[in-house]
Chain A
Amino acid sequence: MIIFNGVHKWFKSLHVLNDINLHVTQGEVLVVCGPSGSGKSTLIRTINQLEPINEGSLIVDGNNLSDKKTDINKLRAEIGFVFQQFNLYPHLSVINNITLAPIKIRKIPKAEAEKQAMALLERVGLAEKRDAYPLQLSGGQQQRVAIARGLAMKPRIMLFDEPTSALDPEMIGEVLAVMKDLALSGMTMVVVTHEMGFAREVSHRVVFMDYGVILEEATPEDFFMRPKHERAQQFLRQLLTPMQAGCP
């Protein structure tokens, strides 16, 4: 489904992705974690070419992204993307946030698009908010709408870039529940997250990155119980017991 082959990327002189080789299969839920600045956000953003790669090849759903003939807009329509900052359109109501792309790109009639959008809102538990505006919603609700927006194009892949990092703690659960439900439905997902509970419970594979390099790739059990790389061990210690990790 997604194949990274020797992918490199630089921001000026900063080597943000260094020889990435990764294969995500259909229906797989992959969690990418690592300290901030490790390149994990850049990695996920290359998949729908919000960040172009400089070297190597990246094949998504059979399309080589470096190929000039690849219609990137068409491919993006098949990939849902959920942002840390939600990025809902503040000037549109919830329902119009969701139906914009299906109506404009898939040319679905408005009534039909709204029917599908309502089904999605039902699924994320926000049917009663159809006419609300994004800024009237809590962070957790906004993120659930953003997931519904991503799903509205019936994507084959869903990408999540730290979907819960901007949320208050009590709202994280509602978003993770929606994501878990999605994972169980068989969606191919790549999730950048620090939510280790989600990684352990839902994901099929965990990738640990630092300095733009994939340092470890393992099943959740192995990664959490027997992390091999020293940086991963350190990272997990910090994450699980932040107070103690600071003072050895």
Chain B
Amino acid sequence: MEPFLNFSVITDNFTYFMIGRFPHGPLGGVGLTLYLAFVSCILSFFGGLILGLLSITRFPLVRYPALAFINLVRGMPLLMVIFWMYFLLPALFGKVAENNTVIMALTLFTSAYMSRIVIAGIEGIPKGQTEAALSTGLKSWQVMLYVVLPQGLRNMIPSFVNQFVSLIKDTSLAFIVGVSELTHVATQINNRTMAFPTEIFIFIAIVYFILCFAFTTLSRWLEQRLSWSKAI
């Protein structure tokens, strides 16, 4: 009699789940999931920082477009942004690798959320810091660069890690445009073998959980580690 669950489908395809056809072909599976999340995270850190700073400048001509963009993106489903990038970018720039359209979509989407973290981080720095720095004659951009941001970014780090965790989960949506990250790999193997959907999807659920839980733990650890009273 067949066993209730047969995980041999996992062990047989384990490398494929982890790294796709790498190193003989393109990276896939968990490797690609982490790659997409990591690159998008770095890019959206800068995107969020720039958007956040733009949305609090005193120049309305800069501030309002930035705020409009943030609110527009936050009011859209990620899946739709992925489709947009998938069809829009090639139309604009010719051939663009699917991975990059997904990275672009994730970056745009996450930048909008990161910008809120940046704004909150900046506003969380006591007003006295800005006043003290202004009083010494520093210009407002210098106050931001040397006094407010170094403290603010430090407070933002745990939120950034949380956003990275969201990104790991969000990459699963990339399967819809045929990017072979973990979820896509899972559907591929499922379609090929036909008989083990339960095993396959239990397995990738566990993989996602382990990845996310590891980074959430890291974020909590950082939060304690970076609080001012202890760090100093």
User: Footprint of B on A, CB under 8 Å?
Assistant: 48, 50, 73-81, 83, 85, 87-91, 100-101, 104-105, 133, 135-136, 146, 149-150, 152-153
Pairwise interchain contact A153-B136, C-beta atoms closer than 8 A:
yes
User: What is the bound-complex CA distance between A88 and B126, given in angstroms?
Assistant: 11
Q: Which residue of chain A lies nearest to B228 when distances are taken between CB atoms in the complex? A: A90
* Besides A73-B137, A73-B138, A90-B228, 4 other A-B contacts (C-beta < 8 A): A50-B135, A83-B132, A91-B151, A91-B154
**23 A–B contacts, CB within 8 A, in A order:** A73-B138, A74-B137, A76-B134, A76-B137, A77-B136, A78-B137, A81-B135, A83-B131, A83-B132, A87-B128, A88-B132, A89-B133, A89-B151, A90-B232, A100-B136, A100-B138, A100-B147, A101-B138, A104-B142, A105-B142, A133-B232, A135-B228, A153-B137
A38 to chain B, nearest CB (A): 20
Q: Does B150 contact A (CB under 8 A)?
A: yes
Q: Does B11 contact A (CB under 8 A)?
A: no
Q: Does B71 contact A (CB under 8 A)?
A: no
B65 to chain A, nearest CB (A): 27
User: Footprint of A on B, CB under 8 Å?
Assistant: 126, 128-129, 131-139, 142, 146-147, 150-151, 154, 228-229, 232
Q: Which residue of chain A lies nearest to B128 when distances are taken between CB atoms in the complex? A: A87
User: What is the bound-complex CA distance between A48 and B131, given in angstroms?
Assistant: 10
User: What is the bound-complex CA distance between A76 and B135, given in angstroms?
Assistant: 5
User: What is the bound-complex CA distance between A50 and B229, given in angstroms?
Assistant: 29
Complex interface: chain B residues within 8 A of A136 (CB)? 232
Q: Which 8 A-B pairs have the closest CB atoms?
A: A77-B137, A101-B136, A87-B132, A81-B135, A87-B128, A76-B137, A133-B232, A135-B232
Pairwise interchain contact B136-A76, C-beta atoms closer than 8 A:
yes
User: What is the bound-complex CA distance between A129 and B162, given in angstroms?
Assistant: 37
User: What is the bound-complex CA distance between A50 and B134, given in angstroms?
Assistant: 8
Complex interface: chain B residues within 8 A of A83 (CB)? 128, 131-132
Complex interface: chain A residues within 8 A of B229 (CB)? 135
User: What is the bound-complex CA distance between A152 and B135, given in angstroms?
Assistant: 12
User: What is the bound-complex CA distance between A21 and B151, given in angstroms?
Assistant: 40
Q: Which residue of chain B lies nearest to A104 when distances are taken between CB atoms in the complex? A: B142
Pairwise interchain contact B137-A89, C-beta atoms closer than 8 A:
no
Complex interface: chain B residues within 8 A of A74 (CB)? 137
Q: Which residue of chain B lies nearest to A84 when distances are taken between CB atoms in the complex? A: B128
Complex interface: chain B residues within 8 A of A81 (CB)? 131-132, 135-136
User: What is the bound-complex CA distance between A169 and B154, given in angstroms?
Assistant: 34
Most chain A beta-carbon neighbours within 10 Å: one of B131, B142, B154: B131
Which residue of B131, B138, B142, B151 is within 8 Å of A50 (Cβ)?
B131
Most chain A beta-carbon neighbours within 10 Å: one of B128, B135, B229: B135
Pairwise interchain contact B138-A104, C-beta atoms closer than 8 A:
yes
Pairwise interchain contact B138-A87, C-beta atoms closer than 8 A:
no
Given the interface pairs A85-B128, A89-B129, the reply to whether A101 lies near B137 with Cβ below 8 Å is: yes
Complex interface: chain A residues within 8 A of B131 (CB)? 50, 81, 83, 87
Which residue of B129, B139, B146, B228 is within 8 Å of A73 (Cβ)?
B139
Complex interface: chain A residues within 8 A of B134 (CB)? 50, 73, 76
User: What is the bound-complex CA distance between A112 and B180, given in angstroms?
Assistant: 58
Complex interface: chain A residues within 8 A of B146 (CB)? 100, 104
User: What is the bound-complex CA distance between A50 and B126, given in angstroms?
Assistant: 15
